[in-house]
Amino acid sequence: MSDESAEIQLKSLAEQAISQPLVTHIYTADPSAHVFDGAIYIYPSHDIEGGVPFNDNGDHFCMEDYHVFRMASPDSVAVDCGVALHVKDVPWAERQMWAPDAACKDGQYYLYFPAKRADGIFQIGVAVADRPEGPFAPEPEAIAGSYSIDPAVHADDDGAFYMFFGGIWGGQLQKYRDNTYAEAHQEPRDDEPALGPRVARLSADMKQFAEAPREIRILDESGQPLLASDHDRRYFEGPWMHRYQGKYYLSYSTGNTHFLCYATSDNPYGPFTYQGQILTEVVGWTTHHSICEVDGRWYLFYHDSILSGGVTHLRSIKMTELRYDEQGRIITLHPYGK
């Protein structure tokens, strides 16, 4: 495809898109959205051009700080609250501050983020603030026992907080077995169960794990684990948890097949049963999201790369309303119409 025809195609997709970028003055991705203090706060990655060649480990995703965005309502503009945390202020972290999330407990706000240590291994850290927009003060060490990427913290109805995390390939999840890293570890064979995200309940102070992380199994309609070869349905990265009508909904990215999918369970530890797709492919290689209820309506926050002309590591956050059918199944969205 010529550059001119690609540009025409992107323009057409932009015109057909079900939502427009919330932020255009910088590139943003991986939006984690919450309602705090009566407003919507979005905690995304901040994409920059780092000049690093593309590879499957994602080294070209060179993010180094976080901006927080506030929306008074789903129809209002997203206000940039400024830099909330920079990698240079995190003692244990060297580079690649990837997708974050946030939580609130007892008037304190907690920003959870992955970053690479000097040895190139990802861990997850936490920073604390008195306001949802920060600035956040990081803890001096990463969370003990944490690893991989994409922390997502779910506040359950009983007051417990759970962190879901993990991503394969560049996220290094395939290198872990029983929470222990070994360079020799690889993805499972095609006929073996796919790797699942990890979950751990957080401690009362929100700064550590209260238990060892455990793996979540995602099952098919027959109760069998999804296999590593099932790329259209198996877990890759970007976990998110929400509850709807008493059920736990685990949603995630399938990575190299570019879908957002979900599975349900009666228990935050699972096992979860696969249900279907939330969002079909967007422009750009990655897809990453969150789901947030605002005044009784549900919204999907996601990203694509249309604003940058299709550059995979320069993305823009978006949002659109999410709907369920009478059985509680999420109605699949198509980002540029069918």
Q: Dihedral angle at the C-alpha atoms of 24, 29, 32, 38, nearest 10 degrees?
A: 0
Q: Contact 212/126 with Cβ under 8 angstroms?
A: no
Q: Is the dihedral of CA 86, 312, 150, 80 positive or negative?
A: positive
Which one, of 231, 232, 238, lies nearest residue 302 by Cα? 238
Q: How long is the chain? A: 338
DSSP string, 116-143: E-TTS-EEEEEEEESSTT-PPEEPSSPP
What count of other Cβ atoms lies within 10 Å of the Cβ of residue 321? 13
Q: How far apart are CA 250 and CA 270, in angstroms?
A: 9
What count of other Cβ atoms lies within 10 Å of the Cβ of residue 29? 26
List the catalytic residues.
30, 237
